[in-house]
Amino acid sequence: MNTSQKIALFAVIVTIIGITIAETSKYCDRANESYIASLKHDIDMYEKFEKFNIPKTLNTLNTTLTELEKNAKNINDYTDTINKNKELEIKNKTLSSDIEKFKQENIELNKKIEALEEKYNRLMSENENFTLKNNQSRTLLGGEIAVGLSRASQALEIATVTINNKTHELRAGQSVSLELSGKRCTTVLKGIGYDSAGFEFFCKPIPPKSHQ
């Protein structure tokens, strides 16, 4: 290798070394810049965390979570209450319908009771005049009282009368009274014929006893 070749080779080596040193310097600069940027980012985050007050924030989050859980429970309770109210409304409607039905039935029943009372009072307040021959009978007040004539003697002026299975010897003007359902019903012998007798029947309310 001659002198000119050696000089050229040396120049190439020097150039390569220079390029290597320059690139290495650039890489180190970039690495340093990246490291510095990373440190700066960490410092900024730390400062932000310091300002953010993490423990206090966690407590606030826990408190908020507890309140949310309470609100969720309240919402569930409210929903249950609404459902129960709906069930009660349905039951109330059913009960209202039953009550209206009962009222109508009660009205009809009262009408029947009033009709029966009217009929009974009419029977109890009737005045009847009738004549019986010997061995005849008659029922009054729908069968509550039975009057029978066993024998009428015009000569003796006595009539043998049976009222509700009790026998009485009556003269004209005499009577027999019975108490029935708060009323006093009286059978009066009005007159005696050859083989018959005339009667009058009537009922009057029994006055209430006075308390002295």
pLDDT band at 2 (very low <50, low <70, confident <90, very high): low
Residues in the chain: 212
pLDDT at position 21 is 64
pLDDT at position 32 is 63
Q: Which position has the higher pLDDT, 49 or 39?
A: 39
Highest mean pLDDT among 63-72, 131-140, 175-184: 131-140
pLDDT at position 37 is 76
Q: What number of other Cβ atoms are within 10 A of residue 147's Cβ?
A: 21
Contacts of 82 (CB under 8 A, 6+ apart): none
Q: What number of other Cβ atoms are within 10 A of residue 162's Cβ?
A: 15
Percent of the chain's residues with pLDDT above 90? 28
Mean pLDDT of the chain, nearest integer:
80
Q: Which position has the higher pLDDT, 103 or 152?
A: 152
Alpha-carbon Rg for the chain, nearest whole angstrom, is 62
pLDDT band at 181 (very low <50, low <70, confident <90, very high): confident
Percent of the chain's residues with pLDDT above 70? 69
pLDDT of 81 higher than 70: yes
pLDDT at position 1 is 63
Strand locations in the chain (E): 128-133, 136-140, 145-153, 158-163, 166-170, 175-180, 183-192, 196-205
pLDDT band at 46 (very low <50, low <70, confident <90, very high): low
pLDDT of 52 higher than 80: no
pLDDT band at 120 (very low <50, low <70, confident <90, very high): low
Mean pLDDT over 1-28 rounds to 63
Mean pLDDT over 183-204 rounds to 93
Closest to 156 in 3D by CA, of 198, 195, 201, 199: 195
Whole-structure pTM value: 0.41
Out of 7-21, 53-67, 93-107, pick the least confident.
7-21
Mean pLDDT over 194-209 rounds to 88
- Which run of H or of E encompasses 209? none
